[in-house]
Amino acid sequence: MIQNFISMNGYGIYVWSSFFATFIVCAIVYYKTNKTLKKYEKEFAKELSELSEAERKLVLEKSKIASQVLASSNKSI
């Protein structure tokens, strides 16, 4: 029963290799996207820290994302 499922009437090698390749490509895309996001978050946090206190408060009040980025950058630093 299991052997028939895995072999899929002789097409199993193609099906499982395609499944594996798709999984690997999705993992690579996730890793690269996550790495790029962390890089941009660090750059944004650096730029935000260079602002004056009044400008920083203004940015944080107007943007929900800015406060989330700042909170996540404080955790990772």
pLDDT for the residue numbered 22: 98
pLDDT of residue 31: 98
Does 13 reside within a domain?
no
- Count of structural domains, the chain: 1
With respect to residue 10, please indicate whether it lies within any of the assigned structural domains: no
Residue with tokens 């941009």: 40
Q: Structural domain of residue 74, as residue ranges?
A: 27-77
Detail the DSSP E strand segments found in the chain: none
Residue 1 counted as domain residue: no
Could you write out the three-class secondary structure of 10-67? Answer: HCHHHHHHHHHHHHHHHHHHHHHHHHHHHHHHHHHHHHHHHCCHHHHHHHHHHCHHHH
Predicted local distance difference test score (pLDDT) of residue 19: 95
User: Is residue 51 assigned to a domain?
Assistant: yes
Token pair 């002789």 in the structure block, residue: 10
Give the sign of the dihedral formed by CA 61, CA 64, CA 66, CA 71: positive
Average pLDDT by stretches of 10, the chain with 77 residues? 87 94 98 95 85 83 77 63
Considering the entire predicted model, what is its pTM? Answer: 0.67
Any domain includes 73: yes
